[in-house]
Each structure stands twice: as structure tokens, then as C-alpha cells.
Amino acid sequence: MPEPLDLEYDVVADDYQTAGEASNNLKETLKMLGLPSSVVRRAAIITYEAEMNLVIHGGGGRIIANIDEEKIEIKTIDRGPGIPDIVLAVREGYTTASDHAREMGFGAGMGLPNIKRNADEFEIETEVGKGTTLRTVIVFPQDTGKE
Amino acid sequence: MAHSIRISYSACHGCVNCIKSCPTEAIRVINGSIAIIKDLCVDCGECLRACARKALGLDDDDWDLIHTHGVAEGLPDPTFFAQFGSFWLPEEAKKTLSGNGIDLLTDEAELAFDLSAYAAARIIDEMSYDQLPLISAYCPSVIGIIQLQFPELLSRVLPVKNPLEIAAELWRKKTKSYAPMTLFTPCPAKITLVREPMGKEPSSIQHIVSVRKVVHSLMASGVKVSRTEPPTKSGWRFPTWGVRGGETRHISKFSGKELTVIAVSGLRNTKDLLQQLELGRLRGVDFVECRTCDLGCFGGVAVPESRFLAHLRNRRIETEWNLSEKRAHELKELYEMPKLWHTREPIPSKQRLPLSSDLGEAMERMKQMKAIFAEMPHIDCGACGRPSCKAMAEDIVREQGEITDCIFKLREGISSLASQILSLADSQPHTIQKRR
Ligand SMILES: Nc1ncnc2c1ncn2[C@@H]1O[C@H](COP(=O)(O)OP(=O)(O)O)[C@@H](O)[C@H]1O
Ligand code: SF4
Ligand code: SF4
Ligand SMILES: [Mg+2]
């Protein structure tokens, strides 16, 4: 079995201009690997929303994608404020986004619910004042990438 | 898939302006002149705009040849009527051009665009919230971008044939004539639409000539818009499709609901909008219209008149949206004939080949690609004939290029070779006495 492929992206806090680059980049990479378009789309949505959360809420951070022949794991790590109530945060429409972020068209409270819907595994580890780690996995459909 | 860009190899100097303009990275420079990767070209015409030497053009038909063969059946693009220094009402244009050996198929075009909007409105009205928004199928270049870059959105493309194609079919049905028909096109994309129709069904259109050629030839033979003042009212709906938002308005007027719509133009806006749609960020929107040309088809690369003026002329006109009883009845009847307007087959995706069909192998090549890319200068100079260092790295792992195609890498290679030569020159055979 070949070594997994690691991809890493740095995400800068409050940078609304370049926000979305990591998810675009990941999307191109997954396409070149020949993954099914449904997987590519789900990974793009997860990465995009997670990236936005790093920009808006997490004070910036890192996205780490790890691909092997069966699945892709997408993690985001930040040292931001943490999430006091995870259940609430994952609820549709819940948001603490600032007015500024909302003016920029972000913060509809659909990010985490969308991430959850598109992931086969979904975990949040968070500590208030310390930061948040989000871990998601998409399992490839059978027969993916077999000649 | 073919494309409809003609390359003049004698005019092309192998500069790199066009390769950087291409939104799908379809152009390479090989041996001093360009090559278009046909599966990647979406016929947006951007490379024509970028080429200062006019080495790129439309691969359209010879108007003089068509025109001298008796009466030409001309299917006008909606942009056609704003091209003659004023806005020409279609009935006026038809009358004038009949004296120039052109039978302008204005009535069929109007009916076809009406039918297309009518069918679209019915389809959208019946869709549920999560099936929406649907995407306009009108601009073939946008469809190409979706096929290549947003294949997951193909199921959202409105399953309605291009109204220009419907118009041609309506005319054939009505006249039972086999006379060849010529589409006046604003862009290469509509040429490809006719020459390489998506499904198995051949097009009913035979020839395609750019709006520019037709307008220039008519103006040269003294054709003028007879009116001095531009019209303020028009009973014609289809010319409004020449400008961004025209289709959207037409559909909205025919819908039974208050539709939420977005209409954008230009490559960047098109890609941005499609991306947001793919990311699921356009909830609550019913219909999106994208045009790759600035301001819509008036910005098409083969349209002679200033798109700003054409836009202005169009905007001044008040269009009649209420249907006559006769037309309403006619549309209802035609709508019951889906063969006429419904696309036959789903649109196939046109994704690029992966680095390998085996995932493990593709992952290995991806790692190689990243390693090669890391060593490149990252200035995207284009001297290698590729649009970017990244594309160069990709071509190398796809075995479609050599690292020495990069002039910086070549230079590094030469300099390391030079130092090797120096050190070789220093080591002398034992039979020769060392100097100094
Ligand atoms: N990385 C993070 N760090 C801190 N808080 C977060 C983070 N990600 C999400 N949250 C919290 O969860 C809420 C819901 O997130 P989400 O569903 O993405 O909606 P939105 O980003 O639109 O507010 C956010 O408003 C924020 O309070
Ligand atoms: S027409 Fe558009 S897609 Fe085709 S080669 Fe030119 S720039 Fe690229
Ligand atoms: S916007 Fe209109 S003119 Fe431009 S490529 Fe699309 S169909 Fe052709
Ligand atoms: Mg969010």
C-alpha cells in the first residue's frame, strides 16, 4: 500500500480575500487523483466551511488533509477561543459571527451542519480559551481508483 | 469535442499572452506556435481577446460564398439588432434585408425563445426547494466550464435545448424546406454548439458566420437602419437575451411565482457563482444565469458594436411581456411537444484525466509533482510554453514535458555542468606534468 498523501494549508484570521483558496486547491488535487466527483464535492464543502470557521472564529489555523486509498481525513486545528457548547454550535442557523463577517456574506450558521452532513465521520475537540480541532473523514465508495 | 478557434500559424509568434488568458489552461506553446488542447477548450474566446497579433480567430464559414448562392436563410442571434449604429426592430431588419438576399428568421426566433423561457418557467415552478437553483443552458461556454470544473452541477442545468436550435427546427417544421440555414454567431461557443451538438441529434443549422462578418458585409453594401430615433417600445422579447439578465427576465415574466434569480457575466463572475453554488451557498435561489462574456453576448468576441452602446440601446427599450392570447395558446401546444424543446440526453462530464487511473499510482505521481513544483521558480513566466509552473510540473509527471523545458532549470543544469567541466579540466592525466 502506498504511503498516504499529506496536504497542509495555513489559514490566516480575518482574511476574507483569500478565504476559499485551500478548498479550491484541495479540490484540484483530488480531481487529479481521479477521485469520484461526489467525493470531490463533499471534500470541497467540508474544507471550505472549515476554512471559513478558521478565518471567522478560530483566529486562523491549519488545515491538514490526509489521503490514503480508502478515505480522506480532513482536520482543522486552531488556537482560538474554543466552542463552549458544541451541540448548540452544530445546530442549523446558530452563529456567533460578528456583524462585519455577516456583512461580508458569511455567518449563516450553516457551516458546521453542512460539514456534518457531508462527512462520514465528524468529531470536534475543543477547550474554551485553548482552541478547536475538527476531524472529518470521507470514506471512498468501493472500487475507487482501481484500474 | 472540437473547438471553433482558428489559429493562423504564420501570424503566431509563440508569445505567451494567450496561454495565460485561458480560463481552462487549454493552450500550450510547442515549437514556437500554439496548440489548443481541444478537450479543455470551452470556446470562450478569451484567447482571441488576448492576442495582439490577431493570430487567433473564429473558425466560421465563408459568408461571401453562402451569400452569393441565392437567398440565404439567416438565423439572427439576439445581439444582431443592436449592431447597426442604432437599435433595429426585428421586423424592420427583416424587411430591409429581404432586399439584400437574406431571409431573416425573426418570427421563428421569437417563438423559440418564448418557448424556451416558457418551458424553463414550467420546470422551475414544479421543482422543489432543494432541486433549485437551476442553471441556464444558454451559453455553451458556461456549459463547458461546468463539464470540466463543476461536474456535480450538471444535473442542475436546465434541460431545455438552446432556443437558436429550437428556432431552426421550428422553421424546418413550418416550411418543410431543406434549404441551408446560417446562424449569425457572436462567439466561437455557438459555432461548436452547432458543429458538435451535445447529444446524438445533429443540428438543424448548416452554416455559421460571425455577426461581425455579416454586419460588416451589409454595412459595406450600404445597409442602414432606416429610423433616426431609436425605438422606445418593442413587441419583441428575444433580442433582450443579448444582454446579461435577459433570459432571466424572460423566464421570470413567464413564471407563476416570484422567482429569486441571479444573473452574472464575465469569466470570473461565472466561476465564482458556480463555485458558490457547488459549495451549497445559494439556498433560496431559483435560477442562475451565467454568461462568460462581459455584459452577456453583446460582449461576445465576434460582435462588432461596442458592448456598452449595445447594452445602452437595449436598456432604453420597453419590452412587451404580456402574451397575446394566440401566442399563449401556441406556447401551451408546443410545450406539450417535449421532443421539440427538451434535451434528449444528460450532459456528460468532461473531466481531465487523472494522473493515473490507479489511485495509489496517482498519489505517487502527485507526490512527485509536488516535489518537482517545489524546485521550480514559481514566477509563471510562460517561457516553457505552459500557463504556470504548476502546469509545467503536471506536464512533467504526465510525461508531456521535460524539466529542461523550464529555462531556469536549464540554466541551473548548464551551470552545474559548467562547474563539472571546470573540475574535470583541473584533473589532468598522470602522464602530463602538473603546471605550477
Ligand atoms: N473554529 C472555531 N472556533 C471557535 N468557534 C467556532 C469555530 N467553528 C465554529 N465555531 C462556533 O460555532 C458557530 C457555528 O458555526 P457554523 O455552523 O460554521 O456557522 P457560522 O460560521 O456561520 O457562524 C459559530 O458561530 C461559532 O460560534
Ligand atoms: S477559447 Fe477560451 S477555453 Fe478555448 S483556448 Fe481560447 S481561452 Fe482557452
Ligand atoms: S456569453 Fe454569449 S457570446 Fe459569450 S460565449 Fe456565451 S453564448 Fe457566446
Ligand atoms: Mg461557519
Please tell me the distance from the alpha carbon of residue B40 to that of residue B38, in angstroms, as a whole number. 5
The string of DSSP codes covering B141-183 is: HHHHHHHHH-GGGGGGB--B--HHHHHHHHHHHHH-----EEE
* Backbone angle region of A26, left / alpha / beta, with phi > 0 → left and psi within -120 to 50 → alpha: alpha
Closest CA to A114 of A83, A89, A84: A89
Angle among Cα B158, B234, B230 to the nearest 5 degrees reads: 120
Work out whether strand A71-78 and strand B287-291 pair parallel, antiparallel, or are unpaired. unpaired
Sign of dihedral through CA atoms B301, B302, B306, B309?
negative
C-alpha cell at B69: 448562392
Write down the pLDDT at residue B168: 95
Write down the pLDDT at residue A19: 73
Any idea of the CA torsion for B75, B78, B81, B86, to the nearest 10 degrees? Answer: -170
Residue A129 C-alpha, separation from nearest chain B C-alpha, in angstroms: 30
Does residue A145 carry a pLDDT above 90?
no
Same domain? For B252 and B366 the reply is no
Please tell me the distance from the alpha carbon of residue B201 to that of residue B79, in angstroms, as a whole number. 26
Q: Is-contact B234 B313, C-beta < 8 A?
A: no
Last residue of a domain, one of B39, B58, B77: B58
Same domain? For B70 and B149 the reply is yes
Q: Is-contact B190 B209, C-beta < 8 A?
A: no
Give the phi and the psi of residue B397 in degrees, each rounded to 5. Answer: -70, -20
Assess if residue B27 is contained within a domain.
yes
Residues with CB under 6 A from ligand 3: B 44, 139, 141, 186-187, 189-190, 291-293, 296-297, 300
Give the phi and the psi of residue A35 in degrees, each rounded to 5. Answer: -70, 150
C-alpha cell at B51: 492576442
Give the phi and the psi of residue B182 in degrees, each rounded to 5. Answer: -120, 125
Number of domains in chain B: 3
Q: Which ligand is nearest to the CA of A58?
A: 1
The string of DSSP codes covering B214-258 is: HHHHHHHTT---S-SSPPSEES--GGGGGSTTHHHHHHHHH-SS-
Q: Which amino acid is at B50?
A: A
Same domain? For B112 and B32 the reply is no
Ligand 2 proximity of B160 Cβ (cutoff 6 Å): no
Same domain? For B277 and B385 the reply is no
User: Which CATH number covers residue B35?
Assistant: 3.30.70.20
Radius of gyration from C-alpha coordinates of chain A: 15
Q: Which amino acid is at B181?
A: M
Assess if residue B353 is contained within a domain.
no
Write down the pLDDT at residue B250: 97
Write down the pLDDT at residue A17: 73
Whether chain A has a CB inside 8 Å of the CB on B272: the answer is no
Q: Is-contact B123 B160, C-beta < 8 A?
A: yes
Same domain? For B331 and B365 the reply is no
Greater pLDDT, A117 or B34:
A117
Task: Provide the residue ranges of all domains of chain A, joining segments of one domain with +.
Answer: 5-139
**pLDDT band, residue A98 (cuts 50/70/90):** confident
**Hey, are the CB atoms on B151 and A37 less than 8 Å from each other?**
yes
Residue A147 C-alpha, separation from nearest chain B C-alpha, in angstroms: 5
Touching A: B residues 352-381, CB under 8 Å: 352-364, 366-367
Assess if residue B346 is contained within a domain.
no
Write down the pLDDT at residue A105: 64
Q: Is B49 exposed, middle or buried (0-12, 13-18, 19+ CB in 10 A)?
A: middle
User: Which CATH number covers residue B402?
Assistant: 1.10.15.40
**Hey, are the CB atoms on B367 and A33 less than 8 Å from each other?**
no
Residues of chain B with pLDDT under 70: 1, 432-436
Please tell me the distance from the alpha carbon of residue B7 to that of residue B14, in angstroms, as a whole number. 11
Write down the pLDDT at residue B1: 55
Please tell me the distance from the alpha carbon of residue B181 to that of residue B171, in angstroms, as a whole number. 10
Same domain? For B128 and B233 the reply is yes
Q: Which amino acid is at B269?
A: N
Q: State whether CATH 3.40.50.261 applies to domain A5-139.
A: no
Q: Is-contact A74 A50, C-beta < 8 A?
A: yes
**Hey, are the CB atoms on A37 and B280 less than 8 Å from each other?**
no
Does residue A147 carry a pLDDT above 80?
no
Write down the pLDDT at residue A146: 66
b/e map B55-91, b = 16+ CB within 10 Å: bbbbbbbebeebbeeeebbbbbbbbbbbbbebbbbbe
Mean pLDDT over all residues of chain A? 90
- Show residues of chain A in contact with B356, CB under 8 Å: 34
Greater pLDDT, B341 or A109:
B341
With H, G, I as helix, E, B as strand and everything else as coil, classify residue B265: strand
| CA count, 13 A, side-chain hemisphere, B277 | 31
Same domain? For B109 and B38 the reply is no
Residue of B nearest to A44 (CA): B279
Tell me the whole-structure pTM to 2 decimals.
Answer: 0.89
Same domain? For B74 and B101 the reply is yes
Write down the pLDDT at residue B135: 98
Same domain? For B409 and B276 the reply is no
Whether chain A has a CB inside 8 Å of the CB on B275: the answer is yes
With H, G, I as helix, E, B as strand and everything else as coil, classify residue A37: helix
Q: Is-contact B26 B34, C-beta < 8 A?
A: no
Please tell me the distance from the alpha carbon of residue B23 to that of residue B264, in angstroms, as a whole number. 17
Same domain? For B295 and B205 the reply is yes
Same domain? For B169 and B207 the reply is yes
Same domain? For B16 and B138 the reply is no
Please tell me the distance from the alpha carbon of residue B248 to that of residue B263, in angstroms, as a whole number. 7
The string of DSSP codes covering A42-78 is: HHHHHHHHHHHHHHHTSSSEEEEEEE-SSEEEEEEEE
Assess if residue B431 is contained within a domain.
no
Write down the pLDDT at residue B351: 80
List the residue whose alpha carbon is closest to atom 19 of ligand 1. Answer: A109
Q: Which amino acid is at B69?
A: H
B76: containing domain: 63-341
Sign of dihedral through CA atoms B186, B191, B192, B198?
positive
Best mutation site among A57, A92, A100, A103 for ligand 1 pocket (most ligand atoms within 8 Å of CB): A57
Please tell me the distance from the alpha carbon of residue B183 to that of residue B179, in angstroms, as a whole number. 13
Q: Is-contact B193 B162, C-beta < 8 A?
A: yes
Separation of B274 CA from ligand 2 center, angstroms? Answer: 18
